[in-house]
Every structure is written in C-alpha cells, then in structure tokens.
A and B are shown apart, each in its own frame.
Chain A
Amino acid sequence: MTTPKRHILAGAFGAAAILATALPAVAQQRPAQQPAAPAAQAQPAPAAQPQQQATAPSGSTIDAIRARGTLVCGVTTGLAGFAAPNSQGVWAGFDVDYCKAVAIALFNDANRVRYVPTTAQNRFTALQSGEVDMLARNTTWTLSRDTSLGFDFGGINFFDGQGFMVKRALNVQNARQLDGATVCVQPGTTTEQNLADWARGARIQIRPVVIERLEDNVAAYIAGRCDAYTTDVSGLASTRAVQQNPNDHVILPDVISKEPLGPLVRHGDQRFADLVRWVHFGLVAAEEFGVTSQNVQEMAQNDPRPEVQRMLGRTGGLGQMLGVDNLWMINIIRTLGNYGEMFERNLTPIGLQRGPNALWTTPGGLQYAPPFR
C-alpha cells in the first residue's frame, strides 16, 4: 500500500508549491515593486535583509515611481464618467483625471500613467501588495479601510450615497417597496454590506445576487435576473447613462448610506499620501479662487492674492515641501482644469449634478480645501 502514502507526500509537495506561489505575491510587495529605488540601491544590502528595503525612508513610493517613470494607478474595470477606455482605447474620466493630476505633479506629463483595471473585490489586494501605487476608484472611506486594511485616504473627491435602480416598467416608487425583491450587487463593496444592514434595519426581505464583474452584474439586472441593481448613486447614473434607453430605468429617490469616495494609498508612506491629498485640495482651491485651465498662466502672473501666488508656485515653495516641482499646480490646472472643470467634463454628461460636491461657498456644498500656506 504505497500509493496513499506517496500521495500524501505528493500532496505535501503540492501544498508547498501552492504556498510558494501564493505567498510571494504579498510577501514580495516591496522588493518587487521598487527594485530600482535609490534608497535601496544606495546601501549595498544583501538580498537576505528584507528590512533594509522595506524600511526605506518614507517617500520611497515617490522615489520608486520616479525611478520607474510611470505612476501605476488602479481604476475601475470601466465605469463611464469615472474611469473607462474611450473609443480610441484611451482611459478617460474623473478618477482617471486624478491619476493624471498626480502624474503631472511628479513628471509634468499626464501620459506617464499606467492604468490597472481592478474589480471591487481585488482592488485592495492590488494596493496592499504594491501592484498599484494608488487607487482612484470610487472607493468609500471607511474606518476599517483606513486602519486594519492599511490605507490612507487622500480626501473626498466625491460625496456619494447608495441608491437603487429599477426598470421603469416595474412601477416601484421607493426603496421600501422592494420587499421580497431580488437585488444585484457587486461583492467586496460597502454596497453589499449596506444592503444587508439596510434590509435588516427596515425589516425588509432582500434576495441578493452577488456577481463579481460589474459588466456581468449589470447584464444580470438588464436580463431581469434581478428586480433592482444597487450601488453608489454615481455608479447608477453612469450605468444608466450607457444603457440603450436610459429612460427605461429609474434611480429611486432613497439614499441608504453615506459613500464618501476618494483616492487612497498604502499606509507607511506619508509623503506620497500628502501629495495625493494636496493634489485634490489644489483642484478644489483652484476652483474656489477662480483659477481655470484658460486663465491659469495669466493668474500666475497677475493675481494679487498671496494664497493664489503660493498655490501656483510663484512664492512660498509649497511644491518643494511636497517633494515636487513648485509649478505643480500650474501644470495640473493647465492640462486638466480645476475641480469644477473636471466635474463638468466627466460627470455632468452622465447626468450628475454638483449637489453636495459644490464648493462650500455654495449652499449645500461640501467641497472645501485647507489653506495653501
């Protein structure tokens, strides 16, 4: 009876092989991601000292990106208005513009970005493992993501909430009428958990259908596998806008959660987190100061307000403090415009209003940037 024994051995080796292939993905995070990081190169540290590489001083992400020459940005697999390849196969959208803005701050070149499509499910592993430098991907800022998942959020670039979309023919007026309905939802989202929470709280029975890929999920809703599709209202608007007949679908008025969306980076590198955060604030501040892609050069020359002069890098050396060129904001705004312009270019076409994403100076607006000083 040697067969079973041999099999256990083979199994053990198989296990070792699986382990060996499964672990490096996470284990090699740093070394794989920044082989050329100057900090790591400077010390002739032998490979057997992982510490040396992993403890590389903060700022190493920026150094690694510079050494590589491109920013690797995790985006959605395709959500019109936020991040989707256009007809020429070029990524475009609101989140894509955030990737570009960071690339401009670092390289003064919006094209130095490699976009990595991520699903709701695999986005966090991609960021944790160093497969991407940052995520600009409709991601809700939550406590656990900020702590135990090991991320830092760079502000809130879109205040959102979760809603439901149904077919108009179904004649449903509000979410409470969905008792007993089947609802399509993407796994690995706050959406999925909110749905469960909400149903429990409202004592409503919901049957979930949980499909990983956005496309397949929407297809299931369209085919009638589900009565309703739920996600962030922005996502609903985007999905609705690209349907053959958007008017066949209604977004219900109920919003069942808060979904503050923003770009995020890994823990352990404050300098990169600072940069992403201030790129966002810069875009908002620019709108507040009336700096646009059209007038940015002229404002830099002539605007008498000291804060504008500092933001646009004429004085104060703020860019340097962030570890980038002092002209970073001029370059960003010249290419992409300010927050309002980005919104108008990408999100207005899919039917989204500014709403809470208006500047704080407008009633009901929440977008606010701390001082550039």
Chain B
Amino acid sequence: MSDVPADPRYARQAPRRPLRLSWSDERVRNIVWQALVVGGVLAVFYWLYRNTSYNLEVRRIATGFGFLEREAGLPIAESLIEYDPSMTYFRALLVGVLNTLKVAIVGIVLATILGTLLGIARLSRNWLLARIAGAYVELVRDLPLLLQLLFWYALLQALPGPRQALNPVEGVFLSNRGLKLPFFRWEDAHSWAMIAFVLGVVGTFLYRRWARARQMQDGQPRAVWPIGAALMGALPLAVWWALGAPFQPDIPFLRGFNFQGGLTVSPEFFALLLGLTLYTAGFIAEIVRAGILAVNQGQWEAAQALGLPRGRVMSLVVLPQALRVIIPPMTSQFLNITKNSSLAVAIGYQDIVSIANTTLNQTGQAIEGIAIIMLVYLTISLSISLFMNWYNARIALVER
C-alpha cells in the first residue's frame, strides 16, 4: 500500500556509481562491517547451540519433543477443555495456553472498561470523583503486582469455608472455595446458539457499516437496533428452540467437602483476574487521560458551540480523536496483562507457565519447556500487536 505520500526530500535518488573494491569506498566498508556483525551474532548462536547440545549429551539429558506424546500424569484444577491426568503433555500444555488466554482476554476487556472510566473520571469536574480516581491510580500503580495478587488471594482465602458459605442470593455461594453460580447443563444446542449469536454480532456490525455508508449518501438515519435485536437475540433463540430448547438448571449444592454442580469461579482465577484488572486499569486510566488532554481545547469549544451536551462532545468528538493517542500505548498494556498473567504461578492458577514448568520439571527438558513458553507468549503478543497496529492504522486514516 503506497498511499503514504512520498517525502519529497527522498524523491531524488543519489546518482549510482559503480562499486569500487576498496576500503575507501563507504559502501564496501558498510557491507564488510555488516557481514562481520551478522557473522558474529550467528557464530555466538552456533556456539551456544553446540555447547548446549554437547553438555546435554555429556549429562545424558533427554532432548527433543517426544515427551509431548507421553502421559502427563499431572493434575490440573481448572480447564476449558476436557482433561484428566491420563492425557498427554500436549493436552496439558494446551489447557495451560487456554487458561492463559482466558485470564488475558477477560482481563483486557475489564481493564479497558475500568481504565477508560477511571481516566474520564479523573478529568471530571466533580472534585470528589476526580480525587478518588487519582488516588486509586496512584495506589495501584505504586504497589508491585505480585504483592497485589497475593493480597487478593489471601483475602479470598479469608472467606468462610463451604459449610458457612455466604449465600447472598438463592443458589449463589461465596466461600474460600470460590464463587458458585447457578447455571444450566450445557448441551450441543447451547453451543449452536452461541455460534448463531457470534454470527449475529458480525451481521449486526456489517449492517451498521452499511447503514452508515448509506446515511452518508442519502442522509437517512437507519436504526440499527431492530436488526441487531433480531440477529443477536431472536436468531440464537430460534436456533436453540429448533434444537429442542433443552434447559436443565444446574444449581450448586453442598455435598461432602465441597459444592457440587453449578458454575465455579475459583479463588485462583478470581484473584489473578482481579489483580491484573485493577493494576492495569490504573495505567490505562492515565493513558486515556493523556489521550483526552491531547485533544485540542478548541475541539471542545467548537463542539460545545454546536450545542452538543458534554457527554456527547466526549463520545462523538473528543474520544475518537483521543483514540489516536491512546491506541499505541494501550497495546503495551494489553501485552503487559498477557505477560503478567504468568505471575499466576504464585497463587496456583495453572496457566501455561505453571504447566510448562511442571512439565519441564518432570521431563527434565528445560530448554524445550522454555521454548514452548516463549513460543506461546510470542504468538499471543505478536497477534495482539498485529491486531492493534491494524486497528491503529484504521483509526489513523480518520485523521484530518
């Protein structure tokens, strides 16, 4: 895509001149130096590789990824997919990756919402609100995340035991075993309804785009909500209905040591999510505040002069422009949440690091284990970066 206008300064190319094989030719020198540096780096890597494989050989330490096929034998407390200890290391690691993604994605969404609200609150004309938001930001930014995680975990452990569980609403139990919520038995029909819902969201989004584009042409505003309600509400319901409308309530109840049934939010997950969200929201709040402040005061005034109320000035005029400043540093925060989720080990949430560490402990294959961890984080991080860069580029086009 060459829609970026070329800088006129670079438009004129320097005249080509033949390469002289002489040290006094700058280009020759450049090539030689660069070859030396690249060669040096490669040599170092080769040396590391040789040294490592040699040492592994001397100590008869197993190598390779064959262990992935072997039975893991390690217990995992919570998993998004079916897992039991007789399954393979590969499966166990997959469970770890999904657990990492789960906490990272939920954390990113919640931290973004909370951070944005806090950032706006800090600029509020309400003195108390602004101060509270400011104090919050200072507090969470200044305490190490690990400490905060341990704090939340200890706090959740201080809840009463299952027999004395808090029972604020029928079917909801809060104890040191986590939060128990009533749910219903999940069946295929529900999965299909979910898929229909996701398609509905995409459909609504596309419709909205189309409606906006049309409005630009004919000036007719079109309400999005009826279509949205149909696609995101009626469609999944219809699918569910068509598949027999199964619904079996699954209410948690106490039997023996623990609650059975229902939906569980474990203290480990909850503490990690809480810690990551509250901590990162503090940083996001500052980014949002900076982004809003970066929008020229004139924009506010102009928008207000048009008669827009303050809230709409914010959402229609200021925030869209602030986004340009907000998005790039936001990417870093999203990456931080993802990477900081590895502190999970400390409070017993079994993310990829926890499970890979146990794997490398059991197999002794530290290099492979670390390589897997690196690969997972690189993949997740690069995906976030690429997505955010794409989004950033899209937003940047709006710039005038």
Contacts and interface: CB of A to CB of B under 8 A. Distances in A.
A248 B384 CA distance: 50
A interface bracket (residues with beta carbon within 8 Å of B): 35 or more
A219 B348 CA distance: 12
A204 B50 CA distance: 48
A4 B389 contact: yes
A223 B86 CA distance: 30
A264 B94 CA distance: 32
Interface string B77-101: 1000000111000000000000000
Interface stretch (A68-76, A207-215, A328-336, A356-364): A207-215
A215 to B, nearest CB: 11
A27 B348 contact: no
Nearest to A222: B157
Interface string A118-130: 0011101100110
B361 A27 contact: no
A7 B61 contact: no
Contacts of B260: 180
Contact of A181 (B56, B256, B354, B393): B256
Contacts of A30: 51, 55
Given A27-B52, A50-B51, A225-B157, A7 B60 contact: no
Interface stretch (B68-76, B225-233, B289-297): B68-76
Interface string A72-83: 000000000000
Main secondary structure of the interface of B (DSSP, over half): helix
Contact of A210 (B49, B75, B363): B75
A144 B89 CA distance: 15
Contacts, number: 195
B348 A224 contact: no
Contacts of A96: none
Contact of A223 (B158, B257, B366): B158
Nearest to B370: A22
B382 A207 contact: no
B361 A147 contact: no
Contacts of B360: 125
B47 A225 contact: no
B392 interface: yes
B55 A225 contact: no
B280 interface: no
A27 B354 CA distance: 23
B329 interface: no
B348 A211 contact: yes
Interface string A196-219: 110110000011111111001101
A268 B58 contact: yes
Contacts of A120: 361
Interface string A14-32: 1100110011101111110
Nearest to B328: A3
Contacts of A224: 157, 161, 176
Interface in B187-246: none
Nearest to B360: A125
Interface in A152-205: 178-182, 185, 187-188, 192-193, 195-197, 199-200
A26 B256 contact: no
A209 B54 contact: no
A192 B354 CA distance: 13
B346 interface: yes
Contact of A220 (B58, B348, B364): B348
A360 to B, nearest CB: 32
Contacts of B361: 120-122, 124-125, 187-188
Contacts of A193: 73-74, 85, 362
Given A50-B50, A148-B364, A55 B176 contact: no
A54 B347 CA distance: 39
A189 B134 CA distance: 45
Given A28-B51, A196-B75, A220-B348, A180 B258 contact: yes
A8 interface: yes
B54 A51 contact: yes
Contact of A50 (B54, B85, B256): B54
A23 B150 CA distance: 30
Nearest to B387: A4
Contacts of A15: 374, 378
Contacts of A128: 59, 61, 364, 366
9 contacts: A1-B393, A23-B48, A121-B357, A180-B258, A182-B177, A192-B74, A209-B77, A216-B348, A225-B177
Given A7-B382, A208-B77, 18 more contacts: A1-B393, A4-B393, A8-B386, A18-B378, A23-B367, A24-B48, A50-B54, A54-B54, A122-B357, A125-B366, A145-B364, A148-B62, A150-B56, A181-B258, A192-B74, A197-B73, A225-B176, A227-B257
